[in-house]
Structure 1
């Protein structure tokens, strides 16, 4: 356990380190666990992964000795995992994932950044990964890889259940068979991102069931993982499509890519159960057959693409900048963040 948390119980540390996972929507493993560490991925996937970012609460990202130190806790200890569980010995800390889609724009899930205060409190950290076999996760990163939120460009989270009225709306919608709506956020960072390229999105709306896909993000707040060998199950819902991707809470906000084109098809937002209790009294990662379960839901990129500048198009970028936005409070203002685990 890292030094800042020696005085905390594991449960308290987990509550501190994973403030948004409880709201992220659980995910699952389908068939074989296809998650790979950064160093195991193909060169093409590593290039894409370099533009994927992890989201952290500000209290876990401290500037010391000319670099930022990331406060983490062991995955296995925090969740009470059984021995032998995949990635059990790795650290966790990030609460969501995101992707660079403009020179200073991050695309993530709407439930990851809930309002201006949570955006101001978030730190967007690139390069939280394991880049060699037998190596350790990067928990000290240079200042050029850490960014803050300037503003929320656009955000949507349909069917929120905060408060009695909204909860009633959700219940009525469910009784009427209403499907969940969009879940996304576009965040402008405090400055342009150095040394990383915005990733292209598929604007053709031609995704179909059976298409091969993969996801890059931070499941359970782990160092970056690439998960492939997955397919689109159903594209009929208006705002999202269903997949059999191997994902977890913490993957929320991850870009989902078309395996043929390497273009972004959507944003991972929710799914099935993450962990279950074993007879031994510890937890194991929940596994299903490849075609079982309800699947992992991905907000369609067609819902979001008008807020993302086309690569190389200055006109589109200007249109995004001119939109009405939610302003983020000054950095010195006291911010409240709900911690739910």
Structure 2
């Protein structure tokens, strides 16, 4: 989502999001896991301390986002995360996620994950050439913006108490120096949203390949996909267990677990990723509402059924093919 539309958008979603949360069919509860047991215990204690007869409303759908230290991650997924970078161009406003105590007061069914992690930056990106980064077109719209933009690799939680926003090594930071290609229009949704840029030196990270006409198997409406990026400027999150819903010529829609800040994230083919092949199917550029407003100074993640809400919008990776071919000659 374009950053300048964020607060207009968030101010009007509360009632519709809450209504959807109350009417959507719940998933199999056993399938949803809160991997952070310390967080779960803190939330349970906060709820137990409240004197309230209000019944908690369930949250629908499972949160598939994982930190880099999550034991459920595969080695190929960890390698894919190394190919991504946080996009930083200016100081971003922090979105206050509810603490366990605040979430308990709202009668939430689950705690808000990642609420105490650092937020740094505004978009996501990934390496597609020796000195070439791909992101969303609305993340970098001009050469002056490019020159103010930095790409930070290794912005990862290595354990629950990491502070990856502190003492970032200079070797992990790359400067945008040139626009290679891209497009974006706030007024015309038929215009593809993508950007390729050149950075100041060779990037020390794995490279993501892109789908070509010869790539097998073909992308279909049930292809499994994985998204890797930096929601809200949080440390990298890997979210799998998603599938493509519908496909158009220049874009597709999938049920990916993403927020604002995931714009520019790589959407990978999950089947090939399991074989350690980093194949991009697209670039995450927008989607359904992210949050429920709570009446407190914090927000909770909105949840949808796997087949509900509008889905997340992804620019087809074929849109960057010609520009990338010229850049990598």
TM class by smaller structure:
0.7 to 0.9
Range moving further from structure 2, 242-251 or 41-50: 41-50
Root-mean-square deviation (Å): 3.0
Alignment of 1:323-334 (within 5 A): none
Greater strand share, structure number = 1
Q: How far apart in 1 are the matches of 2:103 and 2:166?
A: 24
Question: Is the Cα–Cα contact under 8 Å of residues 51 and 100 in structure 1 kept in the other structure?
Answer: yes
Aligned to 1:222: 234
| Consecutive unaligned residues in structure 2, runs of 5 or more | 18-58, 105-110, 274-278
Cα gap change, 1:160/1:282 in structure 2, threshold over 3 Å: closer, same or farther?
closer
How far is the alpha carbon of 1:224 from its aligned partner? 0.4
Mapping 1:35-74, distance limit 5 Å: 35-40=65-70, 41-57=73-89, 60=91
Q: Which residue of 1 aligns with 2:148?
A: 121
Give 1:232's aligned residue. Answer: 244
The residue aligned with 1:287 is 303
- After superposition, give the CA deviation of every residue in 1:270-293 in whole Å (9 maximum; x if it has no partner): 101011123667421111111001
Give distance in 1, aligned partners of 2:162 and 2:4: 26
Equivalent-residue separation in structure 2 for 1:240 and 1:226 (angstroms): 21
* Corresponding position of 2:39: none
Evaluate the alpha carbon distance shift between residue 272 and residue 72 of structure 1 in structure 2; reply closer, same or farther with a 3 A threshold: closer
Q: Secondary structure at the match of 1:215?
A: strand
1:59-91: CA deviation from partner (whole Å, max 9, x where unpaired): x5xxxxxxxxxx99584379x974631111111
Matches within 5 A, 1:239-250: 239-250=250-261
Which of 287, 301, 320 matches 1:271? 287
Is contact 2:96-2:297 (8 Å) kept? Answer: no
Q: 1:31 maps to which residue?
A: 61
More relative contact order in 1 or in 2 (CA 8 Å, sep 6+)? 1
SS in 2 for 1:231: strand
Cα deviation, 1:117-159, whole Å, max 9, x if unaligned, reads: 11111111111110134433343211111011110000111x4
Which segment drifts farther, 105-114 or 22-31? 22-31
| Deviation of 1:21 (Å) | 6.8
User: Who is 1:160 aligned against?
Assistant: 186
Alignment-derived partner of residue 276 in structure 2: none
SS in 2 for 1:148: strand
Partner deviation per Cα, 1:79-116 (whole Å, 9 max, x = no partner): x9746311111111210000000011000000000111
Aligned counterpart, 1:6: none
Q: 1:138 to 1:282 in 2, by over 3 A?
A: closer
Residue 200 of structure 1: aligned partner: 209
1:97 equivalent in structure 2 = 124
Change (3 A) 1:73 1:283: closer
Gap change, CA 1:133 and 1:93, over 3 Å in 2:
closer
Structure 1: 5+ residue stretches without partners: 1-17, 61-70, 162-169, 171-178, 310-314, 319-341
C-alpha distance in 1 between matches for 2:198 and 2:127: 10
Q: Could you tell me the TM-score, scaled by structure 1's length?
A: 0.70
Partner of 1:3: none
- Describe the SS at the equivalent of 1:241: strand
Are the aligned partners of 2:130 and 2:202 in contact in 1 as well (CA < 8 Å)?
yes
The match for 1:256 is: 267
Q: Judge conservation of contact 1:74–1:89 (CA < 8 Å) in 2.
A: no
Task: Judge conservation of contact 1:30–1:245 (CA < 8 Å) in 2.
Answer: no
Q: Secondary structure at the match of 2:140?
A: coil
C-alpha distance in structure 1 between counterparts of 2:102 and 2:147, whole Å: 33
